[in-house]
Structure 1
Amino acid sequence: MKELMGICDKLCQALQKKTQDILNVICLVSTTKSLIQELRDFGWDSLLQNVRSFCDSRSIDVPDMCSSFSDIIRSRRQKDKVTIKHHYRNDVFNVVIDYQLKELNNRFNEQATELLKLSTALDPKDSFKSFNVEHICSLVEKFYPSDFSGQEKIQLPYELQHYEFDVIKDVNFQNLSTIGELCQKLVLTLPVSSATIERVFSAMKVIKTRLCNKMEDDFLTDYMVVYIEKEIPEKYSSDMIIDDFYSMKQRRAQLQPSSVKVSSLSTR
């Protein structure tokens, strides 16, 4: 655990810094995985040597690694003899390292890593030195295809060329060092209504409360459209919604329009 924590410490500290360069974090993730894998492949002998040295300096008996490991549960399940070395290396040492590698791979899979690498093309540091039109177009194609129409995707490379040429000369975009600072500058240039934005955030506070914090993005988006654009759901009646519900697939439940229920109750 000491070796693992020492290897992962630099990455943990980098992830806690908001100003950390994305590309630097990706490099740290890659090197951390490589170091942990190297520890798994070649670190057992050095670790065992350190343990022996520690035990000898404190007069602690070190068991023979080739002797049989006495485990009642194991002996009931399998007849093969398991040595002490096999137990501590395969059932403890390797298992702990494999768990750590699995956690890193789950949190930083290939798709997330590629997303972060392509995002570095927007890094404004050193006068937009990392800017890359091809990477930004790949970012759109792979991760945001539904946000751009076919015509917008065709125009995007040419617009990015204008952006690359103009942004370096613009005094408003000079001396930027992070993507966050670039986003703040770009937001100020968007022709949006502040009243509309405030309305959206106010609606989000009403809809996504502490009790509804697990609401997924798709459901939240649909819910907010209905909540904010109230004139849209007013165009649809209950009968239209029921008919659309039936048209999706065959249903066992038979729903009746509210008008039918009211009429039947009045008749009774």
Structure 2
Amino acid sequence: MDDFYLPKKSKHRPSSVTYSHHLRVEIFYAIIDLQLQELNNRFDVVSGNLLLGMTSLNPTNTFANFDKEKIMILAKHYLNEFGESKLRELSYQLDTFIIHMRRGDPILSNLKEIGDLAEALVNANLVEIYSLVYLLVKLTLILPVATATVERAFSSMKHIKNELHSSIGDAFLSDYLVCYIEKDIFVNISNDAIIDRFQNMKMR
């Protein structure tokens, strides 16, 4: 690895860099840069902050990825839940929370996922002590489901709001989307039951 690198085009002329440098800088680092650029293009700043905050709450390896600053940035995205006073209180709770989590309590050890953390906080009766941390954990658990639901709705909208339905109203579009997204449920409802339901509705 310490020998000078020999490019394929000029095997008789060794370059000024070693094989180690060539593999590390010109290949490995270049691929890492490409992957990082692809991730940055795929996720905007808000999405990146949410993902980093979720990772910082992960209890794996005794909260090895715990980062208070990133968790606080995550909380700031929930403006309705965390005002200025609650953000200050959350900051204090996080300081004692990480000490408590790493103390070696059997109930709080060997946690693998954020869901395990939420369950452990309930079982250890720590929900009231770390109420804001627990709230943030719950919001973190909901986030992937909410994101997937929104993506499903926008994906379905491409099929629903087409040229034939370009002027569809918001209320009708919402009802239409529910039927389309939850088609596995509606397939079990007979057309006769739907017709009877509309016939029995009062005139507006």
Query: Do these two structures clear the TM 0.5 threshold for a shared fold by scoring above it?
Result: no
The TM-score with structure 1 as length reference comes to 0.32
TM-score by length of 2: 0.40
Determine which structure has more spread, i.e. the larger CA radius of gyration: 1
